[in-house]
Chains A and B, each alone.
Chain A
């Protein structure tokens, strides 16, 4: 059973483009949702939490659709520095378990 699924990509986009990633989760009781960013050979770092009402942080917008059990991340005006792997993470709260998607690879091209 795959708790969290993501399109692994890779996504190769030009600078300035808008790119969107989706993620689906299988457990409808999941409580908390996150997007993490992971650079090559580094630890995952929190990009943003995802709230039911949707939330925005600069060029990044996260949305949660509980009915369809998916989470999205939109990156506007892509920068070269956005090149990384983006991990969808879901917390089911029972035992405080965090489930990771496979990650979506993004490369922003000059």
Chain B
């Protein structure tokens, strides 16, 4: 069964450092998403991406965040200067309008900012 993969599974970084979280969506999907979930809280939408550009972003997705699809398979989330409050699980998801209309989630990257 096709799946979304994410690397690394856990990233520890110092405050102010840049991090790049990587995702490989399901190959024939066209819509990609990043979400974050602070421990014990709800899943929060960050950004959606379609046709090589951002289609929507939340107020959380400020200038410190950026996304890229550098090649045909990877989808990355970059945080330029991490803050303590960026510590969370970051989930990538992909979606296709054909079929079940379901979002498929990757296993997540746990980001810890010290």
Residues of A near any B CB (own CB < 8 A) = 32, 34, 38, 41-46, 49, 87, 89, 91, 95-103
User: What is the CB-to-nearest-CB distance from A107 to chain B, in angstroms, rounded to a whole number?
Assistant: 15
State whether B107 touches A91 (Cβ < 8 A): no
Q: Can you identify 12 A-B contacts, CB atoms within 8 angstroms?
A: A32-B101, A43-B105, A43-B108, A44-B43, A46-B104, A96-B50, A97-B45, A97-B48, A98-B93, A100-B45, A102-B41, A103-B42
- Give chain B's interface residue range (CB within 8 Å of chain A): 20 to 34
State whether A96 touches B95 (Cβ < 8 A): yes
State whether A98 touches B107 (Cβ < 8 A): no
- Give the complex CA separation of A108 and B108 in angstroms: 26
* A38 partner residues in chain B, CB cutoff 8 A: 43
Closest to B100 in A: A49
User: What is the CB-to-nearest-CB distance from A32 to chain B, in angstroms, rounded to a whole number?
Assistant: 5
Interface of A is mostly: strand
User: What is the CB-to-nearest-CB distance from B41 to chain A, in angstroms, rounded to a whole number?
Assistant: 8
* Residues 42 to 90 of chain B near chain A (Cβ within 8 Å): 42-45, 48, 50, 55-56, 89
Total of A-B residue pairs, C-beta within 8 Å: 55
Residue B91 at the chain A interface, CB threshold 8 Å: yes
State whether A34 touches B102 (Cβ < 8 A): yes
State whether B33 touches A98 (Cβ < 8 A): yes
State whether B105 touches A98 (Cβ < 8 A): no
- Give the complex CA separation of A96 and B97 in angstroms: 9
When A98-B33, A100-B45, A103-B42 are in contact, do A43 and B56 touch as well, CB less than 8 Å?
no
Closest to B101 in A: A32
State whether B106 touches A43 (Cβ < 8 A): yes
State whether B101 touches A49 (Cβ < 8 A): yes
Residue B103 at the chain A interface, CB threshold 8 Å: yes
User: What is the CB-to-nearest-CB distance from B106 to chain A, in angstroms, rounded to a whole number?
Assistant: 6
Known: A32-B101, A98-B93. 11 other contacts (CB 8 A): A43-B106, A43-B107, A44-B91, A49-B102, A91-B101, A95-B50, A96-B97, A97-B56, A98-B95, A102-B41, A102-B42
